[in-house]
Amino acid sequence: MAESTVVKKGRASFKIRVEPRLNEPPAWYPAAVSFGALIVALILGGILISLAGGDPIRSYLHIAKASFGDSGVLSDTIVKATPIILAALACSVAFRMKLWNIGAEGQFIMGAFGASAIVLAPVLPAETPRIIFIPVMMMAGMAAGALWGFIPGYLKAKFNVNEIISTLMLNYVAVAWVNFWIFGVWTEGGFQMSPKFPATASLPRLLEYAEAFPILRGLTTHLGLVIGVVAAVILWFIIFRSRWGYEIRLIGDNPHAAQYAGINITQNIIWVMMLSGALAGLGGMSEVAGVVHRLQTAPVAAGYGFTGIIVAWLAKLNPLVIIVASILFGALILAGREIQPSGVPKMIQGIILVCLIASDFLLRYRIVVERGEE
Amino acid sequence: MDFTIILQAGIASGTVLLFATIGELFSERAGVLNLGVEGMMLIGAMSAFSATIATGNPWLGVLVAMFFAGLISQIHAFIVITLQADQVVSGLSLTFLGAGISLVLGEGLSKAGTVSLLPNFSIPLLSLIPIIGKIFFTNQSILVYVGYLLVPLSWYYINRTRPGLHLRSVGEYPSAADALGINVFRLRYFYVFIGGMLAGLAGATISLAVSPGWFSELTTGGQGWIAIGLVIFAQWDPIRAAVGAYTFGALRRLILDIQGPLVLFGFANPFYYNPYLGFFLQMLPYLFTVFVLVIGSREAMRKRIGAPAALGNPYVRGERGK
């Protein structure tokens, strides 16, 4: 790619040339490019909002105030960020292996279902102490999510079935599956939702400690945040410090080399899809046990799995950066609920992803501007 | 339950999938995987409906839909052809973008009421054929007939014409095509645009003919993804794509209609008396897509036919040929 464009500007002429980068850019550079892409995306989003008859500056100021304005909304932002963290971790580990798991949404929903089944079946009675209830729900959520990841993983490994389509199709199946249970079996008064969970089956929230620490009054942040952060740290160690992580990275970067090195790609496809599904499932568990407190489709299948894809990409698949990026998107989703027109948060997410992907070009190529002679 | 009526409606609903599938097929044949079909269809459905409301002319709606969906497909084309980014992620982002933009610009459209729709008519003589005439040629939307023409034309274009040969060469062996003086970049842009236009037409088919109106994301309900799955099942062949699309259309209709009657095959209809069983019916098109993919992928592995060789790879001049 050695195209060059000559721009005449005033008396001086510039020559713009694009050439491949031969050496690694400095460490700060990718982050700067991503940040730049984010800014460009917000500007483009602003233009579209004003085209649709909105006021972009007021919209953005509103987002900032409604998500970081005081400790109460900041806590709500973190609550929104929690499921995104786990969904994005799920996407990141699969993407690392170039395994396009678009089904974090369905795995998330199945995780919520698995965790809820412990309460609703009921597997454990309502009097079970929290210290037993919560871990059992976590395991059930992870198992259900992992199962939902296993299916496309197995089909990919065995029959070379395109995982993008199969994971996506299973999203719709998961929604219908949960709808069946909450409508046909666990319905509360004929509505499409289950009865409320007992207090013992809910994740502890900050506001429960308001008596001892009045500053925590009204704060809804729940234990799911800790679960998400711990999961991120563990995943970071797996990816960057373990043998398995090395295999995953090698398969992603160069599957042929990995095969020659004797790494079992087929088996890794299945295991990574299960890990991915388990992480998303844990997110679903955290959402039902920490926020919704009942099984219900609308608040659970709210698109966290899809936002996770964008966040994973924004964080360049780094588990620790995912935590920060999730909080940004948590803010966007929280504040976006009140913005008109209602599609704005989704549109901005789309624009951000488009800009991020376009900006990758700057990591692989450099643009040289030369001042030419008259 | 009259099965000819269900099949007749199934053909109409399959036409949506047909346009989207053939569009994606053109794009993939040129070597560009575009996962943004769902987003482009939403853009098409929304712009077709709103242009028809504004002007009262559904034909203009169809044109607007094809133009805007084609336009937005060029974002993907620019990112993957010129900027050489990953086609999977870029296509995904196009789906997000298309859904977001159509939700923002389509705000309020769902309450806009009814519009003048595309005409339905029967084909003289052909509609008199027993059963087949009733299913295929009676009281169908004009777009359904457009679909019938599109299938053989696409097949002929791809397999029997010179531009079709260029199309295939760009998707199979771009560096050889380039050496022969074919402009790989321009052709890829062009076929992504064609894919976008057909996805837009698919969207317009929904909002102006098959199930008129704008119901935000539910308008397409994942049909764009099913279309991508169908391309794999069709093994990049328009005729097989048509078979898949119409089968799926009929299945979708059957699922809607089976819940209606009180009696089914002489038994009390379980779906009528236990409406929650309907959720299992809702799963069927999606499960069936996975099933069809398994079949298609196994067959492709066995017969060693596969995707266009350069599918998913950016073409970079001067790099070792692929």
Average pLDDT over residues B235-250: 93
pLDDT at A347 over 50: yes
Query: In the beta sheet, which residues pair with residue A18?
Result: A367
Q: Are A312 and A95 in contact (CB under 8 A)?
A: yes
| Domain covering A64-339: architecture | Orthogonal Bundle (1.10)
pLDDT at A1 over 50: no
Shortest distance between the Cα of A131 and any Cα of chain B, in A, equals 35
- Which two three-digit tokens encode residue A246? 């090395």
Cross-chain residue pair A176–B103, CB shorter than 8 Å = no
Q: Closest partner residue to B107 among A179, A306, A343, by Cβ? A: A343
Which pLDDT tens digit goes with each residue over A151-170? 999 999 999 898 988 998 99
Q: Which chain A positions have a beta carbon within 8 Å of B79's beta carbon?
A: 354, 357-358
Band of pLDDT at residue A237, cut at 50, 70 and 90:
very high
What's residue A372's pLDDT?
A: 62
Shortest distance between the Cα of B75 and any Cα of chain A, in A, equals 8
Give the nearest chain A residue to B95 (CA atoms). Answer: A350
ipTM of this complex: 0.86
Q: What is the DSSP letter of A291?
A: I
Q: How far is CA B12 from the centre of its chain?
A: 13
Residue indicated by tokens 């839909």: B65
What's residue A374's pLDDT?
A: 46
Query: B120 and chain A: CB distance < 8 Å anywhere?
Result: no
What's residue A373's pLDDT?
A: 53
Cross-chain residue pair B103–A342, CB shorter than 8 Å = yes
Cross-chain residue pair B225–A168, CB shorter than 8 Å = yes
Instruction: Give me the sign of the Cα torsion angle B39, B45, B46, B48.
Output: positive
Start-end of H helices in chain B: 3-29, 37-55, 58-77, 87-105, 132-137, 142-160, 162-172, 174-179, 184-205, 223-233, 238-257, 270-273, 278-303
Q: Are A257 and A250 in contact (CB under 8 A)?
A: yes
Average pLDDT over residues A4-30: 70
Mutation site, A19, A98, A173, interface B, largest B CB count within 10 A: A173
Band of pLDDT at residue B142, cut at 50, 70 and 90:
very high
Domain spans of chain A, in order of start: 64-339
Amino acid in the structure at residue B47: S
Shortest distance between the Cα of B144 and any Cα of chain A, in A, equals 26
Which pLDDT tens digit goes with each residue over B8-64? 999 999 999 999 999 999 999 999 999 999 999 999 999 999 999 999 899 999 999
Q: Closest partner residue to A173 among B93, B102, B287, by Cβ? A: B287
Q: What phi and psi values does residue A369 have, to the nearest 5 degrees?
A: -105, 120
Q: Which chain B positions have a beta carbon within 8 Å of A179's beta carbon?
A: 276, 279, 282
Band of pLDDT at residue B322, cut at 50, 70 and 90:
very low
Average pLDDT over residues A321-347: 84
Residues B94-128, buried b or exposed e (16+ Cβ, 10 A)?
Answer: bbbbbbbbbbbbbbebeeeeebeebeeeeeeeebe
What's residue B302's pLDDT?
A: 76
What's residue B65's pLDDT?
A: 97
pLDDT at A126 over 70: yes
How far, in Å, are A136, A171, B144, B197 from residue B214 at the CA level? 43, 23, 20, 19
A-proximal residues of B, 81-100, CB under 8 Å: 83-86, 88-90, 92-100
Q: Which chain B positions have a beta carbon within 8 Å of A350's beta carbon?
A: 39, 93-101
Cross-chain residue pair B274–A184, CB shorter than 8 Å = yes
Rounded to whole angstroms, the Cα distance separating A155 from A103 reads: 14
Residue with more model confidence, A235 or A366: A235
How far, in Å, are A105, A271, A284, A302, B12 from residue A108 at the CA level? 5, 17, 4, 10, 35
Q: Which chain A positions have a beta carbon within 8 Å of B232's beta carbon?
A: 162, 165
Which pLDDT tens digit goes with each residue over B86-127? 898 899 889 989 998 998 888 878 777 777 788 888 888 888
Q: Which chain A positions have a beta carbon within 8 Å of B33's beta carbon?
A: none
Cross-chain residue pair B94–A184, CB shorter than 8 Å = no
Q: Closest partner residue to A350 among B96, B277, B283, by Cβ? A: B96
Band of pLDDT at residue A340, cut at 50, 70 and 90:
low
| Domains (range + CATH), chain B | 3-303 (1.10.3470)
Query: B141 and chain A: CB distance < 8 Å anywhere?
Result: no
A-proximal residues of B, 222-241, CB under 8 Å: 222, 225-226, 228-229, 232
Sorted by sequence, the CB contacts under 8 Å of residue A94 that are 6+ apart come out as A100, A101, A272, A273, A276
Q: Closest partner residue to A341 among B78, B104, B226, by Cβ? A: B104
Cross-chain residue pair A346–B96, CB shorter than 8 Å = yes
Shortest distance between the Cα of B279 and any Cα of chain A, in A, equals 5
A-proximal residues of B, 5-44, CB under 8 Å: 35, 39
Cross-chain residue pair B290–A346, CB shorter than 8 Å = no
Mutation site, A49, A99, A169, A316, interface B, largest B CB count within 10 A: A169
Cross-chain residue pair B97–A180, CB shorter than 8 Å = no
Q: Which chain A positions have a beta carbon within 8 Å of B78's beta carbon?
A: 358
Query: B299 and chain A: CB distance < 8 Å anywhere?
Result: no
- Which two three-digit tokens encode residue B97? 């973008």
**Is A17 in a helix, a strand, or coil?**
strand
Give the nearest chain B residue to A41 (CA atoms). Answer: B97
Which pLDDT tens digit goes with each residue over A34-56? 889 989 998 998 888 888 777 88
**Is A338 in a helix, a strand, or coil?**
coil
Most confident of A26-40, B69-83, B85-99, B212-226: B69-83
Instruction: Give me the sign of the Cα torsion angle A308, A309, A314, A318.
Output: positive
Shortest distance between the Cα of B190 and any Cα of chain A, in A, equals 20
